[in-house]
Structure 1
């Protein structure tokens, strides 16, 4: 009798182990450097000015995927590296979705970054999907905060200044909602920027978690 009981217990353990392994195998892979929000976050209305001097609001986010990040044209490292990487990988990312995929470079230095200055800067990267924008700080600060990013002016004794800002890239869905955030690769002694290979690997996993059907 004890032998039958032992065989029964072993059979139950084997079934449970098999079921657990199956569930693990069925579970989709997690993105390594992306945060997917359990529920997409709605954006309040905002008013920015693009590189052509046109007003841009929440409506311009509809019917497209948008990768948005903050910076400024006088940025010595993070901004040009991030924009170059996103501009270069845009065609591959765009091929994964039905809707257009745009890149928003949001300058948080309106004192120096006029629309003309931003236009010249953005055009250098030769990617028509990139749009440069800015606004006064009264519009920029609440909008950037909505995105889950930050910036701060860092002025020295001579009156010159740099702008401290986030290096993450926010994904906005075609409903104009914040859906996910791609985090930079942070390593000692290196500039924190998005890793394009990791972005390409994470992007489809993010779409799966969002329930997107390409």
Structure 2
């Protein structure tokens, strides 16, 4: 009889502990400026050319975390400011993950952004984990679309043209899947940019959500 009582008490205790853990998980803080996809999204195979003229593919995403951002080197504001922030916080973010963290700057302006131009550009940020990549639009467009980002080329024949593109930063997991997206601040009259402090705050919360999927 006594043994049965102990078994019942232990079972009840396990149920209570489980309920408490569930409630704690339900009340965990959520990232403020990031969206975690309920199901990570697979990327199709692709081929990009980096700043050293080396071919990069989906295999280069495996066993690494990747922050991906699209833009172009002639961008007057969003790109240099965003890349400066990513390059600056990369080492702080890297301590939160157990695999290498790399940054991919994907130029959607292959006409002007040759590997040589990309190398000169990314070298300025002095961040070894930062790579500049590009390709023809036949590769770029579907790849950027699968990232959940966008770009639109100008139809002008002028050499000094602008390219519309997303200002969000995508997080790709070590399985080569799009896992989350960090959104920029959208303030009237200001350049849309990912907030540095918000990124540092949201990053561990995003990882926590991914671990609990």
Instruction: Output the TM-score relative to the length of structure 2.
Output: 0.86
**Superposed displacement of residue 31, structure 1:** 0.3
Q: Which residue of 2 aligns with 1:49?
A: 49
**Superposed displacement of residue 24, structure 1:** 6.8
Report how many aligned residue pairs link the two structures.
193
Q: Which residue of 1 aligns with 2:102?
A: 102
**Superposed displacement of residue 154, structure 1:** 2.1
Once residues 158 and 203 of structure 2 are traced to their aligned partners in structure 1, the CA distance between those partners, rounded to angstroms, is 43
- The answer to whether the Cα contact below 8 Å between 1:151 and 1:166 also exists between their aligned partners in 2 is yes
Q: Which residue of 1 aligns with 2:8?
A: none
Once residues 94 and 158 of structure 1 are traced to their aligned partners in structure 2, the CA distance between those partners, rounded to angstroms, is 41
Q: Does the residue aligned with 2:211 lie in a helix, a strand or coil?
A: coil
Moved over 6 A (4+): none
**Superposed displacement of residue 155, structure 1:** 3.6
Please provide the CA RMSD for this pair: 1.8
- The answer to whether the Cα contact below 8 Å between 1:155 and 1:162 also exists between their aligned partners in 2 is no
Q: Which residue of 2 aligns with 1:40?
A: 40
Q: Does the residue aligned with 2:67 lie in a helix, a strand or coil?
A: strand
Once residues 179 and 26 of structure 1 are traced to their aligned partners in structure 2, the CA distance between those partners, rounded to angstroms, is 20
Call closer, same or farther: CA 1:28–1:138 in 2, change over 3 Å.
Answer: same
Give the greater-gyration-radius structure (CA).
1
Call closer, same or farther: CA 1:25–1:206 in 2, change over 3 Å.
Answer: closer
